[in-house]
Structure 1
Amino acid sequence: MSSGFFYVLQDEARILFVDDDPILRAFAQVNLATPSTQVDLAEDGAAALDCLRGARYDLVLLDLEMPGIDGFEVLTRIRSDPALKDVAVIVQTGREDVEAIDRCFHLGATSFVMKPLNWRLLAYQIRYVLRAERWTAGGKAAA
């Protein structure tokens, strides 16, 4: 494979990146947005829920530890909303305790990544999750 730069995220997608850290939000925009992938940003759980009510997203990258409405509550609301329940959610957090991991998957997280984020690996994980979700949806639609 060539060592030249290429975009990992080549499929059309709209991603919502939710984190209270403004630096991580800026990094997400720089590292994940491509000509075919739009990245919207939300600074907390309330802003994330507003974004989700106003637009259709293919994937949400969700921080757990935020002021106000935390990531656990956002995930709970996403999965309980018929219009949002099928959106892929990757939880991204510095918490690595078994309780947080188990709780996220119990609440319906699609995947889980640890901070500090490796942006290249995260882009590959997003690509995998999006393709798996689309394949599954296509299989359900064909059935």
Structure 2
Amino acid sequence: MSIEYDEQQIPHVLAVDDNLIDRKLVEKLLKTSSCKVTTAENGMRALEYLGLKENNNHFNGNGTKVNMIITDYCMPGMTGYELLQKIKESSVLKDVPVVIMSSENIPNRINECLEKGAERFMLKPLKLADVKTLRHQLIKC
């Protein structure tokens, strides 16, 4: 019984990035900070994992609960900004914190993401200190 309880206390983070190296780096940093990590290579896979149907943003109940989503901004098919919009439009997922990462420091892009509901915008490559800040924030939730 205590094992199940302990696993529920570990924050579950969905990391979305089309770049395998960046995805592995984020995964390693999060695991180092005692987070459970699931990765997705693009926005569509992330939505599938979360249980959002592509065409109508309707939650089908088959998604997995996550405590935070961290996504790259610039991805083919669906940007991190578009993923953020879909998550914030979902009645079930709208309260899940979303962190956007980008290697480009573009103030308009950063402001746009924060105005749309992103928890924070971080520059890549992420560092352990960045992830520890996120982990601390997860504990407060």
TM over 0.5: yes
Distance change >3 Å, CA 84–CA 35, structure 1 → 2: same
- Provide the secondary structure at the position in 2 that maps to 1:69: coil
- Provide the secondary structure at the position in 2 that maps to 1:33: helix
Give the one of 89, 109, 124 matched to 2:98: 89
After TM superposition, the structure 1 stretch with the greater mean CA deviation from structure 2, 122-131 or 31-40, is: 31-40
1:116 and 2:139 aligned: no
After TM superposition, the structure 1 stretch with the greater mean CA deviation from structure 2, 120-129 or 102-111, is: 120-129
1:50 and 2:59 aligned: no
Counterparts in 2 of 1:1-143, with a 5 A limit? Answer: 12-33=10-31, 36-53=34-51, 54-118=63-127, 120-132=128-140, 134=141
* TM superposition shift of 1:37: 2.0
- Measured on the aligned residues, the alpha-carbon RMSD in Å equals 1.6
Other-structure match for 2:60:
none
- Provide the secondary structure at the position in 2 that maps to 1:82: coil
- Provide the secondary structure at the position in 1 that maps to 2:91: coil
* TM superposition shift of 1:128: 2.7
* TM superposition shift of 1:96: 1.1
- Provide the secondary structure at the position in 2 that maps to 1:101: helix
Deviation sequence 1:57-87 (CA, Å, 0-9, x none): 0000111100001111100000010000000
Query: What TM-score, normalized by structure 2, do the two folds share?
Result: 0.80
Gaps of 5+ in 1: 1-10, 135-143
- Provide the secondary structure at the position in 2 that maps to 1:75: helix
2:22 corresponds to which letter in structure 1? Answer: L
> Percent identity among equivalent residues?
33
- Provide the secondary structure at the position in 2 that maps to 1:15: strand
Query: What TM-score, normalized by structure 1, do the two folds share?
Result: 0.79
**4+ residue stretches of structure 1 with deviation over 3 A?**
none
- Provide the secondary structure at the position in 1 that maps to 2:112: helix
Other-structure match for 1:3:
none
Verify the 8 A CA contact 1:88 1:129 in the aligned structure 2: no
2:92 corresponds to which letter in structure 1? Answer: A
* TM superposition shift of 1:36: 4.9
1:90 corresponds to which letter in structure 2? Answer: V
Deviation sequence 1:11-49 (CA, Å, 0-9, x none): 511000000000111222222115952100010110111
